[in-house]
Structure 1
Amino acid sequence: MLARLIASVLLITAALTGAASAQDGRWWRAESANFIVYGDLNEQQVRNAAQSLEDFDLVLRALTRLESRENQNKLEVFLVRNLRGLRVVAPHMSESVGGFYIASGDMIAAFSRYDRDLGIDRRTILFHEYAHHFMLHYFPSAYPQWYIEGWAEYVSTTDISRRRATIGRPSENRSSWLNYGDPFPVEHLLAPESVAQRDGEFTGRFYAYSWFAVNYLSNTSERLRGLERYVSLLGEGGGPLESFEPAFGITAQQFGEELEAFKDGRSRLLHIDLPQELAPMTVNRLPRAADNMLLPLARLRTSQSAVNDEDAAEISAAAQPHLDDPMARILLARLAIRRGDNAGARDQLNALFAQEENHAEGRYLLADMILEEMNAKSGEEARADLTEARRHLVRSFRQDPSYYPTLYLYASTFAGEPQPMSDEQLNVLGRALELAPQADHIRLLLARELIRSEEYDNAAALLRPVLYAPHGGDQSAYARWLFDAARLRAPPSGDWQPPETQPAAAGEP
């Protein structure tokens, strides 16, 4: 199946971009101050997408009064032509999804369709996903779910024309949901996690009303001030419903009535002039090896799901003609690890190290594999494995000091010790979070270790952004467990148990 998806993607791309030289692939790569954009598009489309993202970054910085600077850990963005491209990375992706953002243990990236079939402006999807990344990076706080999604929707419709940005235009896709059926209960907007049945219709209406609520706040200074108090109360452990009236000075029901009345009102548009000079960037065509490997490698970096026999055979076949490319060795090593073939993974990594002795990702993968195997050992044998794994991680770090998976994994090897982490070890974990503040697993481990070190206030501050994460699931529940302990200035009692599984919300329409 994977081969058919890749083949169809390449066939469409070849038809649209024309013939390339023998060594040239179909993918283009653009690198700017804050982004690395990959696209199976033509050069100008990839360049335009990178420029749009840099412009949008300037818009968000202007709106939030944040100083512009180059990002230490640039966001990787993958542009595909249609749903087939998304499904190479996420095989079970819904047809209604135009893009997604993921912050995994090994990669932080956004994936977006760049076609017209969705009926949504291409940039709207890109802007929505980057808005999440931006908020988590620079403004991690206890924002409620509706504001997190609503703000991303509100800024995603930003129109940039002739070096001028216009913010606040209505979203036609979301507007159509506002008048669908009965008014959306305000309790469902403020506390969606309390709703037992969250199907596709609920999700569509939740996103629409979230966007509309943020649009209303942006046009009502008094309510905007209430939001600041609301976030503060949530950050102190308050619930989304009981904290509403003390923060806003009106009941949730009155807020719902104001939203209904605003449907007949007019939204205020904001305008921001952008610099006339375009963002500096380098754009190059990737070699042919990337055609069949770039998206499958992203799949293995961003997901821990199983790879079936058919897909595994196709991924392996795609890599075989390019074994002189380190990407092929990394892809095959990750595939072998995913399939439980550690011996095969070692063979691939040894071949990789013959090409590039201290390949950062390769040394990280080897260390991770050794640590996993160590769990079945004890005594001197386990200690020897631990020492070897740490040695590989040090070599990985020296090759790439900004590769956050290495920093996290190295620090995590000290998490099981009887004594709390040392300041130096906490600093390593803190550096990993600085590079990847969107990665909740880093935030949660650091918070837990800070609690062990009796740094309760710092731990609570770290946990606030996870408490109401829209797709937090068990991680949000675990964060709440740690947060409650930090607020009590004591270690958590007992062992954490995940709550009973709740019905998951449908994917974003």
Structure 2
Amino acid sequence: MRRRSGASLAILLSATAMPAHAAWYEAKSKHFAIYADESPKSLQAFATKLEKFDKAVRILRAMDDPPIGDGGRVNVYVLPSTDAVSHLAVGKDSSIAGFYLPRASGSVAFVPKQTDGHQEWDISADTVFFHEYSHHLQLQNTDAALPPWLVEGFAEFYSTAEFERDGSVRLGNPANHRIVGLYLLAKPSMDMLLGPGTNKATEDQLEAFYGWAWVLTHYLTFADERKGQLARYIALIRSGDDLMKAATVAFGDLKRLDRDSDHYLHVNRFRYLQVNAPELNRISVVVRPLRPGEAAGMPARIHSTRGVDKTEAAGVAAQTRAVAASYPDDPFVQRELAEAEFDEQNYAASRKAALRALALDPKLEKALIYKGRAEMELSASDPKADWSAIRDNFLKANLLDTEDAEPLMRYYESFGASGERPTANAVEGLRYALVLAPQDKSLRLMAVAEMINAGRIAEAQETLGPLAYDPHSSGGRERARKVMDALKAKDQKAALAALSQAAAAPGNND
């Protein structure tokens, strides 16, 4: 998501630049684990609102809501302000109001407690969160290679959710935060709006793109004269039609569509959808205070969760070691140390910390995962390595949380690390991992590589589709399209070579 004069956003919640012993609480609901230096009452209300949004969108779209474990929850960190979020994201003041990191190891979001009083038409923290979480839900609901305008239009459509006193949720409200892009900037051409994506677009062009993506999505959703056209358009794309051809067949004369969407905006009579169901008022949230060790480690945890480079890893590891020394009997603190040591490539120390965590709590799934990952790194050049024992870490982790994608992904990775062909069980696990975490780009590329190697070219094309039309990464999108072109030409060797370059490029999930 983008904010006026801003960089690409990704979304959710977090916190930084806070006292080490702040009054941190955790609020756990079905889909979220939220961490904030906030009163339990406020945190309970916030978690309830996020769950209401999730349920309302699922009800409206008739989406399944299968059971999930800890690994399937989105971890949300609430930071004091948008400035704190921006500094966490890029190390300085910027227009970033929140960001979201989609990962098989656990998707995470960082959002502000308040918005620092930016200009009138700025995007609120809630809007940022709901936009990006809509992407999360959309990927869970469809694996179709949807074009950028519809991906962003979908997220903008749901981002303006409002919560009524009677417990209902209003969806599809006007995107007032896009006023600048809609009224003060040039409208994108139909070719730019409906095409495969924008390369090297200016900030103004992107702002206008987001606004008009919302208008077009809203218009095609509500206009009686356009009923059924959006569904037909998606079906044509899924059947392999070129984007512009699909648009012409589904929508008719695109010049007419251009004029009609202008008229729709300027008439300014927007309908919305009201969702009111008993389950919206049956939401369970459990709030608990963090233990002293957990609270003390929160500043380092937030930076580690965000992701660290080599220099940052050293600082985070040093900070985490100090906390771990003060709280040697807290299993979660020791698990955090295992992660921090792993990030600094101290694999033996990472393994030792994971073992300490497991001695304190044998059911700490993420400690098992870091123990296995550290052992994989330590065994990379050891011909006598016991790979069966290493993989046992991931098998045990999977038993502890069968709906967590990460153990399945790491189990599959272990075969490549040992130079062995993955077993059928490992391949099946990889496929299910993608079902559980379709938002993870690196996991998707891993699955595509497996499909290509197995000669399942059509399936590889379908699985790669969301990356080939990714609106958030022009570089990643172009690399994915090179793979797609090779797949369409049935050139397995070229597809694997292009895929290797795409997987190695920066910007993929860890």
Task: Report the CA distance shift for 1:312/1:236 in structure 2 as closer, same or farther (over 3 A).
Answer: same
Task: Report the CA distance shift for 1:465/1:93 in structure 2 as closer, same or farther (over 3 A).
Answer: farther
Compute the TM-score of the two structures, normalised by the length of structure 1.
Answer: 0.83
Task: Report the CA distance shift for 1:271/1:353 in structure 2 as closer, same or farther (over 3 A).
Answer: closer
| Partner-residue secondary structure (3-state), 1:36 | strand
User: What is the match of residue 16 of structure 1?
Assistant: none
Query: Does 2:85 match 1:86?
Result: yes
Cα distance in structure 2, aligned partners of 1:130 and 1:437: 13
> Equivalent of 1:139, from 136, 142, 148?
142
Query: Does 2:320 match 1:321?
Result: no
Task: Report the CA distance shift for 1:235/1:488 in structure 2 as closer, same or farther (over 3 A).
Answer: farther
Amino acid at match of 1:433: L
| Partner-residue secondary structure (3-state), 2:390 | helix
| Partner-residue secondary structure (3-state), 1:264 | helix
| Partner-residue secondary structure (3-state), 1:33 | coil
User: What is the match of residue 413 of structure 1?
Assistant: 414
Cα distance in structure 2, aligned partners of 1:400 and 1:353: 16
User: What is the match of residue 343 of structure 2?
Assistant: 338
Shift of 1:68: 4.6
User: What is the match of residue 382 of structure 1?
Assistant: 383
Task: Report the CA distance shift for 1:485/1:426 in structure 2 as closer, same or farther (over 3 A).
Answer: farther
1:449-468 map, 5 Å = 449-468=450-469
Task: Report the CA distance shift for 1:107/1:70 in structure 2 as closer, same or farther (over 3 A).
Answer: closer
Cα distance in structure 1, aligned partners of 2:175 and 2:46: 20
Cα distance in structure 2, aligned partners of 1:192 and 1:174: 22
Cα distance in structure 1, aligned partners of 2:140 and 2:93: 27
1:481-492 map, 5 Å = 481-487=482-488, 491-492=492-493
Amino acid at match of 1:66: M
- Quote the RMSD (CA, aligned, Å): 3.3
Shift of 1:374: 4.1
Quick check: 1:415–1:449 contact (8 Å CA) kept in 2? Answer: no
Quick check: 1:402–1:435 contact (8 Å CA) kept in 2? Answer: yes
Amino acid at match of 1:63: L
Query: Does 2:287 match 1:283?
Result: yes
Unaligned residue ranges in structure 2 (runs of 5+): 1-13
Aligned residues: 480
Alpha-carbon displacement from aligned partner over 1:473-506 (angstroms, at most 9, x marks no partner): 555445434544555556343622648x99x9xx
1:112-151 map, 5 Å = 112-117=111-116, 118=118, 120-151=123-154
Shift of 1:364: 1.6
Query: Does 2:166 match 1:166?
Result: no
Quick check: 2:86–2:96 contact (8 Å CA) kept in 1? Answer: no
Shift of 1:135: 0.7
Task: Report the CA distance shift for 1:52/1:357 in structure 2 as closer, same or farther (over 3 A).
Answer: closer
Aligned-residue sequence identity (percent) comes to 23
> Equivalent of 1:154, from 147, 150, 157?
157
Compute the TM-score of the two structures, normalised by the length of structure 2.
Answer: 0.83
Quick check: 1:444–1:479 contact (8 Å CA) kept in 2? Answer: no
> Equivalent of 1:348, from 349, 353, 373?
353
Cα distance in structure 2, aligned partners of 1:134 and 1:108: 12
Amino acid at match of 1:9: M
> Equivalent of 1:186, from 190, 200, 216?
190
Shift of 1:410: 0.5
User: What is the match of residue 9 of structure 1?
Assistant: 18
Shift of 1:25: 5.4
Alpha-carbon displacement from aligned partner over 1:87-145 (angstroms, at most 9, x marks no partner): 57535365322222111252212221121425544432332222111111122211111
> Equivalent of 1:216, from 209, 214, 219?
219
Task: Report the CA distance shift for 1:70/1:410 in structure 2 as closer, same or farther (over 3 A).
Answer: closer
Shift of 1:173: 1.2
User: What is the match of residue 470 of structure 1?
Assistant: 471
Alpha-carbon displacement from aligned partner over 1:173-222 (angstroms, at most 9, x marks no partner): 112321113333333323474433x3433332222222222122222245
Task: Report the CA distance shift for 1:200/1:148 in structure 2 as closer, same or farther (over 3 A).
Answer: same
Q: Which moved more, 1:479-488 or 1:329-338?
A: 479-488
User: What is the match of residue 24 of structure 2?
Assistant: 27
Query: Does 2:216 match 1:232?
Result: no
Shift of 1:435: 2.0
Unaligned residue ranges in structure 1 (runs of 5+): 12-23, 505-509
Alpha-carbon displacement from aligned partner over 1:282-310 (angstroms, at most 9, x marks no partner): 22121233334235324324525334355
| Partner-residue secondary structure (3-state), 2:76 | strand
